[in-house]
């Protein structure tokens, strides 16, 4: 299914984009490489979400707290956006936004690692 499928041209999508004030743009059939990149990204995200959902609708962390799998989607998005892709040698965040988001580990002071080697 490509983005020119009738599902993406339905009144639901049209009204949704009108509500958010966005414009729905379709890939051109004259540039199949863009369709291939989008399809590959969708496959990767699908695999990531399936792996999370394979554990059931509720996940427990190391503290025993229960999380709904939907709450993990932002973390999956960050993981995908920060992964270096072999075809470009860049992260999607760098290609799309021209910068990589700071990760929590980036905010740690380097000298703390030497003070507390177990950190």
Same domain, 102 and 44: yes
Same domain, 86 and 42: yes
Transcribe 1-57 into DSSP letters.
--TTSGGGGSHHHHHHHHHHT-------TT-HHHHHHHHHHHHHHHHHHHHHHTT-S
Same domain, 43 and 19: no
Task: Tell me the pTM.
Answer: 0.51
pLDDT in tens, 46-61: 888 888 777 655 666 6
Confidence (pLDDT) at 20 = 76
Confidence (pLDDT) at 12 = 78
Same domain, 38 and 20: no
Number of domains making up the chain: 2
Same domain, 5 and 39: no
With a cut of 70, which residues of the chain have pLDDT below it?
1-9, 25-37, 55-61, 64-68, 109-119
Question: Which residue range(s) make up the domain with 65?
Answer: 30-115
């Amino acid at each position: 299914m490509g983005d020119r499928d009738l599902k993406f041209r339905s009144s639901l999508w049209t009204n949704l984009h009108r509500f958010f004030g966005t414009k729905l743009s379709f890939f051109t059939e004259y540039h199949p490489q863009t369709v291939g990149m989008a399809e590959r990204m969708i496959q990767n995200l699908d695999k990531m979400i399936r792996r999370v959902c394979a554990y059931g609708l509720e996940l427990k962390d190391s503290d025993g707290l229960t999380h709904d799998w939907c709450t993990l989607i932002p973390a999956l998005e960050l993981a995908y956006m920060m992964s270096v892709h072999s075809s470009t040698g860049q992260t999607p965040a760098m290609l799309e936004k021209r910068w990589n988001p700071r990760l929590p580990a980036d905010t740690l002071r380097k000298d703390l690692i030497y003070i507390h080697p177990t950190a």
